[in-house]
Structure 1
Amino acid sequence: MVAPTGKRVYNWYISLVAASCMVLYGYDASVFNALQNSDHWKAYFNHPDANIIGAINTAYTVGAVVAGFFMGGPLADYAGRRVGMATGAILVIIATFMQTFAPRGNIGVFIAGRVVIGIGQGLALTAGPIYIGELAPPEIRGKIMSFWQMFYSVGSFIAYWVSYGTLKHPKKLGEWDWKMVVIFQILMPLIILSQVFFIPESPRWYVQKGRNYEAARAALLRVRDTEEEVEEELTTIREAIEFEAEAISSGYSALWKDKSVRKRMYIAMIINAGQQITGQGTLNSYSSLIYKKVFKDPNTIALINALNATFSILFTLNATWTVDRFGRKFLFIAGGIGMGICMLIAATVETQTPSPGGAKTHPVGISIVFIMFLFAFFYKPSWGATVWIFTAEIFSMNVRAQAVGMSSQTQNVANSIVQQFFPLFLAKEGFYAFYMFAGINFLLAAFVWFFVPETKKVSLEEMDAMFGGANHVVEGAAIEHKDASRHHSVVVDPQEKTITERRE
C-alpha cells in the first residue's frame, strides 16, 4: 500500500473543512426534534400546538429552499465557493442567537431564526459540495465526498448527545436544558470561519470567473503532487470552460436549454427528493414521536436518538471504501432494496404484536429499534452519502453552482411535503405508514436501475458525455485549435518575393 503524499493529505484536510458545512445541517435537522422532549421549551413558548410545530419546521425549509434555488448558486459563482460557505456560517451564528435568546413567549422570533438558519444552510450546502467536487482528484472524489454525509451524522451526534445530557438534569438547568442544545450550534460555524479563507479557492472558479490561470495554477499546486498533473488538469479545465463559454449559455436558462443538462436536472432532482422520502427524513424529524409509540420514558427515547446518531457515523464510513469500488449505481440499488425490506419488517413487527398497557413489550421495542438501526446501515452509505456525491459531480462548470443548489434543495421541498402529512398519518395509521416507505424505496431502486448511469472515477470535465452530451474537453480543444488557425495567416512580401508566416 502506497503511503499518501503530503499534498494528498492536505487535499483531505481542505475537503473536510468544506464538509463541515454539513455538520450545520445535521445539527439543525436534529436539534428541533430534540427540543420537543423538553418541557421547559414547551412552557417557554406557551405550549405550541401542532400547527405551530409544523410552522417551525416549514420556516427552516422556506429559508433553505429560497437560498438554495435562487441565492446559493449566484453567490458561489460571483464571490467564490469559500465566500458562499463563510456567508452561510455567519447567518447560522446570527440565527442561533435569535433562537436562544428569543423573548419569552415570542415564538415569532424563534421562527424567524429558523428562516435565517435555513438561508444560511442553503448557501453553505450549495458551495460546500461544489468545492469538494472541484478540488478532489477523480480517483478519490467519491471517498472524500462520503465524509460530507458522515458530517451530517456528526451534527446529529452532537445535538442528540447534548440533548440527552441536558435532559438528565432538567431541574438544575431549568430553561438552559433547551437553550444549551440550541446555542451549541455556533461551534461548527466558528470553526468553519476560522479556516475557510486559509484553504485554496477552487481553480475551476478562477478560470470561469476571470480566466485567472495563474491563480488557478497556484491553487492546483497546493493540492496536486506534480507540476505535470497541474498543467494537465489546468489544460482540461481551460478547454472545457472554453467550450462552455462559446457553445453553451450559463445561468439558470442553461439548465433547460441543453438536453443533456436537462436530463441531469431531472435525474438529480428525483434522486435528491428520493433521499428524503425513503423514510430517513421523517425519522430524523419525528423519531421522538415514532418511538413514543413503542417506549414511554423520554430518557429512553433521547438515548435511542443519541445512539442512532453515533452508529450513523460508523455506517456512513462504509461509503468511503464502497463508493469508488462498487460505484454509485450499485449503492443506490442495494440501499433502496435494503431500506425497503427494513421498512416492511418494522411495519409488520409493530402492527402484528400486542401492546399491553399502551406500549410494546421490551423485546418487541428492542427489535424495532434494531430494525431502525439496520435501516440507517443501508441508508447512510447509499441514499445518504451517495446522493450528495452524485449531485456534486454530474454537472458541467457553467451550470454547476445553480444546478447543485436547486437539486439539493429538492430534498427540503420533498421533506416539507412529507412532514406536513406524516404526523397525521402516523397518528391515524401508526406503523402502517411504514409500508408506504417500503414501496417508495423499491421504486427508487428500480428508477436507478433503468435511468441512472455509473459515474465513478469520471473526470468532471468529461461527465457530460455520460449523459448523452458533448465531451467538453474534446470540444474545447477543437475550439482552441480553430481559434489558433484563425489567428494564423500567410503574408506575401512583394519586394522580396517570399512567403512568411504571421501569428496575430
Structure 2
Amino acid sequence: MGLMTGKRAYNWYISLVAATCMVLYGYDASVYNAVQGSKHWVTYFNEPNTQTIGAVNTAYTVGAIVAGFFFGGPVADYFGRRIGMAAGCVLVIIATLIQVFSPRGNIGCFIGGRVVIGLGQGLALTAGPIYIGELSPPEIRGTIMSFWQMFYSVGSFIAYWVNYACTKHTGTLGEWDWKMVVIFQLLVPIIILAQLWAIPETPRWYIQHGNRLDDARASLYRVRDTDQEVEDEILVIREAIEFEKEAISSSYSALWKDKSVRKRLYLALILNAGQQITGQGTLNTYSTIVYKKVFKDASQIALINALNATFGILFTLNATWTVDRFGRKFLFITGAIGMSICMMIVATVETQTPNPNGAKTVPVGISIVFILFMFAFFYKPSWGATTWIWTSEVFSMNVRAQAVGMASQTQNVANAIVQQFFPTFLNNCGFYAFYMFAGICGMLAAFVWFFVPETKKVSLEETDVLFGGSNHVEKGADLIGAEDAHHARLESIEIDDDMARRLRR
C-alpha cells in the first residue's frame, strides 16, 4: 500500500467524508424497522394497517429508485460530485423534519417524507462512490471503497443503539421514543455538509467540463505526492476523455450502444440485485419479525439488532485488507458460498428442532442468532463492500455517473420485490424460506465464477479492455498526439513558479 504520507492521509480523509453518505443509507434502512416496534408510533398514526405500513417502506424505495435512475447521474455529471452529495444531504435534512413533525394521524405526510429521503439518498449514493473512485489511486482504491460499506453498518449501528436506548425509556420519552430515533438522522448530513465545501472536486470532472487543467492539477496536487504522478494522471484522464468524446456518446444511449459498456451494465445490475436477494436486505428490514419467531421480549430483539450492527462494522473491516490482496472475484465467491452454508444451517436448525410447548428453547435461539451473525461475517466484506467497489470502478468516464446510479438503485428494485412477498412467505413456510436464500447464494457464486472478471489494481481509464472494449488511454493518446500514453514529459508542461506554488498548496 506504500508509505502513509501527508497527502495519502488527506486522500483517506476526503474519501471517508464521501463514504459518510453511506451512513445515511444504513441509518434509514434500519430506522423504519426500529420505529415499527414503538406503540407510540402506531398510536400516533392511528394504527396503520399492513398495506399502509408497506406503503411507508415502498415510498422510500420509489424515491431512491427514481433519483438513482434519472437524477443522480445527471446531477453528479453536470454540477459535480460534491454538489450531488450536498443536494442529497439537504433533501435528507428536509425529509427528516417532515417525518418528525408530521401532524398527528397524517400518515400521508410521513410517507411524503420517506419519498423525499429516498430522493436524497438516490443523489448521494450515486455521487459518493464515483467521488471516491476518481480520487483514489488504483493500488488502494478497493481498500478505501471498503469503508463505503462499513459506513452503512455504522448507520445501522447508530440507529439500532439509539432505538435500543429509547425502548428502555418509553415511559419518560412518550411519543419522542420514535421521534428521537428519526430526528437523530439530522446529525450525519449536517456533518457531511460542513466538510464538503473544503474538499476538492475530482480532476476527471474538471477536465470533462471545459478542460480545466489547472483546476484538475490543483485537485490532484492535494492527494498525490509527486509532480510526475500528477502529470501522468492528468495525461491519462485527458486521453480517456478525448477518446470517449470522439468515439462514444456520453448520454444514456451509450449504455446500450457500446457492447463493452452494455456487458458491464448487465453484470453490475445482476451483482447489485444479487446483493439484496442474498437475504441481507430482507434481514435488515424484517429481522424483528424473524427474531419474534424465536424470542418474545422486544427489548431483547432490539439488543440483538444493535449487536448485529456493531459486529457488522467489525466484519466489514475485513474487506480493507482482503479486497486488494485477494481480489474482488475471490471475495464474491467465498462470501456467497459461506452465506449459502449459513442459510442452510439456520433453516435446518429451526425447522428440524423439536418445539416443546410451542416455543423454541434458548439454546436453539442462541444458535440461530450466532449463525445469522456468521452470515453477516461472510456478507459484509464480500457482497456488502465488494459490490460497491466493483460497480464504482468498471465504467468509463462518459457513462460512470449514469451507470453507477442505475446499478446501485437496482438494489432497491430487488429489495422492494423480495420485501413485498417475504413476510407472507415467512408466515406460511416459516424458516423453510431460508432455503431459498441458500440456493440464491449458491447460484451467485457460480455466476461470478463464470462471468465476472477481476478488476483488482486496474486503472479506471483502462477497465474497458477487461470487457472487450478499446483501451481509452492508448486510443486517446493518438488523438492528442502524446508520445507515451502513460507518462507525461514534465519539461513540456509550461507551469510558471507562481502557478506551481499555488497548485501545491
Q: TM-score range by the shorter chain?
A: over 0.9
**1:18-37 matched pairs, under 5 angstroms:** 18-37=18-37
**1:94-493 matched pairs, under 5 angstroms:** 94-481=94-481
| In structure 2, distance between residues paired with 1:290 and 1:356 | 19
Gaps of 5+ in 1: 484-504
| In structure 1, distance between residues paired with 2:352 and 2:209 | 60
| In structure 2, distance between residues paired with 1:108 and 1:339 | 38
One-letter amino acid of the structure 1 residue matched with residue 360 of structure 2: K
- When residues 5 and 408 of structure 1 are mapped into structure 2, their CA distance, relative to the original with a 3 A threshold, is same
Superimposed CA distance per residue, residues 194-227 of structure 1 (whole angstroms, 9 cap, x where no aligned partner): 0011000010000011111110010000000001
- When residues 279 and 144 of structure 1 are mapped into structure 2, their CA distance, relative to the original with a 3 A threshold, is same
Aligned partner of residue 371 in structure 2, secondary structure: helix
Normalising by structure 2, we get a TM-score of: 0.95
Superimposed CA distance per residue, residues 384-443 of structure 1 (whole angstroms, 9 cap, x where no aligned partner): 000000000000000000000000000000000000000100111111100000000000
Q: Which moved more, 1:43-52 or 1:403-412?
A: 43-52
One-letter amino acid of the structure 2 residue matched with residue 250 of structure 1: S
| In structure 2, distance between residues paired with 1:356 and 1:292 | 17
- When residues 346 and 482 of structure 1 are mapped into structure 2, their CA distance, relative to the original with a 3 A threshold, is closer
One-letter amino acid of the structure 2 residue matched with residue 93 of structure 1: I
Over alpha carbons, which structure has the higher Rg?
A: 1
1:359 Cα offset (Å): 2.5
| In structure 2, distance between residues paired with 1:207 and 1:147 | 27
1:3 Cα offset (Å): 4.1
Superimposed CA distance per residue, residues 136-187 of structure 1 (whole angstroms, 9 cap, x where no aligned partner): 0000000000000000000000000000000001111100000000000010
What residue is the counterpart of 1:490 in the other structure? Answer: none
**1:22·1:151 contact (CA, 8 Å) conserved in 2?**
yes
Identical aligned residues as a percent:
77
One-letter amino acid of the structure 1 residue matched with residue 399 of structure 2: V
One-letter amino acid of the structure 2 residue matched with residue 361 of structure 1: T
Aligned partner of residue 198 in structure 1, secondary structure: coil
1:24 Cα offset (Å): 0.1
1:356 Cα offset (Å): 3.0
| In structure 2, distance between residues paired with 1:191 and 1:468 | 42
What residue is the counterpart of 1:488 in the other structure? Answer: none
| In structure 1, distance between residues paired with 2:167 and 2:357 | 25
One-letter amino acid of the structure 1 residue matched with residue 298 of structure 2: P
What residue is the counterpart of 1:491 in the other structure? Answer: none
Q: Which moved more, 1:48-57 or 1:158-167?
A: 48-57
Q: Does 1:39 align with 2:72?
A: no
1:301 Cα offset (Å): 0.2
What residue is the counterpart of 2:51 in the other structure? Answer: 51
| In structure 2, distance between residues paired with 1:350 and 1:209 | 57
| In structure 1, distance between residues paired with 2:314 and 2:344 | 24
| In structure 2, distance between residues paired with 1:38 and 1:195 | 34
| In structure 2, distance between residues paired with 1:29 and 1:401 | 23
**1:145·1:385 contact (CA, 8 Å) conserved in 2?**
yes
One-letter amino acid of the structure 2 residue matched with residue 396 of structure 1: S
**1:335·1:382 contact (CA, 8 Å) conserved in 2?**
yes
One-letter amino acid of the structure 2 residue matched with residue 39 of structure 1: K
One-letter amino acid of the structure 2 residue matched with residue 336 of structure 1: A
1:482 Cα offset (Å): 9.4
1:278 Cα offset (Å): 0.2
Superimposed CA distance per residue, residues 435-477 of structure 1 (whole angstroms, 9 cap, x where no aligned partner): 0000000000000000000000000000000110000000000
Aligned partner of residue 210 in structure 1, secondary structure: coil
| In structure 1, distance between residues paired with 2:381 and 2:481 | 43
Gaps of 5+ in 2: 484-505
1:17 Cα offset (Å): 0.2
What residue is the counterpart of 2:489 in the other structure? Answer: none
One-letter amino acid of the structure 1 residue matched with residue 344 of structure 2: L
One-letter amino acid of the structure 1 residue matched with residue 162 of structure 2: V
| In structure 1, distance between residues paired with 2:29 and 2:356 | 33
| In structure 2, distance between residues paired with 1:93 and 1:200 | 23
One-letter amino acid of the structure 2 residue matched with residue 33 of structure 1: N
Normalising by structure 1, we get a TM-score of: 0.95
| In structure 2, distance between residues paired with 1:222 and 1:181 | 38
What residue is the counterpart of 1:92 in the other structure? Answer: 92
1:360 Cα offset (Å): 1.1
| In structure 2, distance between residues paired with 1:355 and 1:81 | 55
Aligned partner of residue 324 in structure 2, secondary structure: coil
- When residues 482 and 21 of structure 1 are mapped into structure 2, their CA distance, relative to the original with a 3 A threshold, is closer
What residue is the counterpart of 2:488 in the other structure? Answer: none
| In structure 1, distance between residues paired with 2:192 and 2:482 | 44
One-letter amino acid of the structure 2 residue matched with residue 163 of structure 1: N
One-letter amino acid of the structure 1 residue matched with residue 44 of structure 2: Y
One-letter amino acid of the structure 2 residue matched with residue 73 of structure 1: G
1:37 Cα offset (Å): 1.2
Aligned partner of residue 453 in structure 1, secondary structure: coil
What residue is the counterpart of 2:495 in the other structure? Answer: none
| In structure 1, distance between residues paired with 2:170 and 2:481 | 72
1:98 Cα offset (Å): 0.6
Quote the RMSD (CA, aligned, Å).
1.0
What residue is the counterpart of 2:491 in the other structure? Answer: none
One-letter amino acid of the structure 2 residue matched with residue 312 of structure 1: G
1:354 Cα offset (Å): 2.4
- When residues 298 and 246 of structure 1 are mapped into structure 2, their CA distance, relative to the original with a 3 A threshold, is same
**1:296·1:359 contact (CA, 8 Å) conserved in 2?**
no
Aligned partner of residue 95 in structure 1, secondary structure: helix
| In structure 1, distance between residues paired with 2:171 and 2:355 | 32
**1:69-80 matched pairs, under 5 angstroms:** 69-80=69-80
Q: Does 1:66 align with 2:66?
A: yes
| In structure 1, distance between residues paired with 2:253 and 2:424 | 39
Superimposed CA distance per residue, residues 276-332 of structure 1 (whole angstroms, 9 cap, x where no aligned partner): 000000000000010000000000000000000000000000000000000000000
Superimposed CA distance per residue, residues 110-157 of structure 1 (whole angstroms, 9 cap, x where no aligned partner): 000000000000000000000000000000000000000000000000
Aligned partner of residue 458 in structure 2, secondary structure: coil
Superimposed CA distance per residue, residues 317-349 of structure 1 (whole angstroms, 9 cap, x where no aligned partner): 000000000000000000000000000000000
Find runs of 4+ consecutive structure 1 residues off by over 4 angstroms.
none
| In structure 2, distance between residues paired with 1:358 and 1:312 | 32
